[in-house]
């Protein structure tokens, strides 16, 4: 099962390597990992997309909680949540393909953010599956470069991951 785990951790040097080290040391897999500081500059928020059985995911959240610098952990997939990923794609856009590429970008509600005589750079946001679909929908031989951020996730409504008062 695919799970999306969110965590808050101290915004300190080395905290990221503890999380990454935990995954490699215990043989858990990471599909994607994103991290950046939050509005509280002492905290970073990380989103990890991983796969595993229920037992493995339970161990992952427990082991993450055990890291001293990890403040809060939530398995977003346990409830209603939203996830988004940003992708930048540079494509060859010449001749007939130039119009077709613009049309596909519009259909997928993407934006062309850089233009040259021969290329477009397209920005696309959405769930990972939408980004995959876009790449399948266009002529693959025209893709020059792709870069994806990995998923960021947030709970719906009142599901909030924040520093708890203890």
CB of 36 to other proteins, least distance (A): 18
Interface stretch with other proteins, choices 64-72, 86-94, 96-104, 107-115 (CB under 8 A): 64-72
SS3 per residue for the chain:
CEEEEEEEEECCCCHHHHHHHHHHHCCCCCCEEEEEECCCCCEEEEEEEEECCHHHHHHHHHHHHHCCCEEEEEEHHHCCEEEEEEEEEEEECCCHHHHHHHHHHHHCCCEEEEECCCEEEEEEEECHHHHHHHHHHCCHHHEEEEEECCCEEEECCCCCCCCCCC
**CA 151, CA 5: separation in Å to the nearest integer?**
10
What is each CA distance from 22 to 27, 29, 129, in whole angstroms? Answer: 8, 10, 27
Site string for other proteins, 106-145 (x = CB under 8 A): ----------------------------------------
- Compose the 5-34 pattern: x for residues touching other proteins by CB under 8 A, - for all others: ----xx--xx--xx--x---x---------
Q: Does 96 bind other proteins (CB under 8 A)?
A: no
CB of 161 to other proteins, least distance (A): 14
Answer for which of 40, 58, 106, 139 binds other proteins (CB under 8 A) is 58
Which of 35, 49, 71, 101 is in the footprint of other proteins by CB under 8 A? Answer: 71
Which stretch in 67-75, 107-115, 116-124, 148-156 sits in contact with other proteins by CB under 8 A? 67-75
Minimum CB distance to other proteins smaller for 57 or for 101: 57
Binding site for other proteins (CB under 8 A): 9-10, 13-14, 17-18, 21, 25, 55, 58-59, 62-63, 65-66, 68-71, 163, 166
């Amino acid at each position: 099962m695919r799970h999306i785990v969110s965590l808050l951790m101290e915004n300190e040097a080395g905290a990221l390597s503890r999380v990454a080290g935990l995954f490699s040391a215990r043989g858990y897999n990471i599909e994607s990992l994103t991290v950046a500081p939050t509005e509280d500059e002492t905290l970073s928020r990380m989103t990890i997309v991983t796969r595993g059985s229920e037992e493995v995911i339970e161990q992952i959240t427990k082991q993450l909680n055990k890291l001293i610098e990890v403040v809060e952990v939530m398995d977003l997939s346990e409830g209603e949540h939203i996830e988004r990923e940003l992708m930048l794609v540079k494509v060859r856009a010449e001749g007939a393909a130039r119009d077709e590429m613009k049309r596909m970008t519009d259909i997928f509600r993407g934006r062309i953010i850089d233009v040259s005589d021969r290329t477009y750079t397209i920005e696309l946001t959405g769930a990972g599956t939408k980004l995959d679909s876009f790449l399948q929908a266009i002529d693959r031989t025209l893709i020059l470069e792709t870069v994806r951020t990995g998923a960021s996730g947030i709970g719906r409504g009142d599901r909030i991951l924040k520093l708890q008062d203890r």
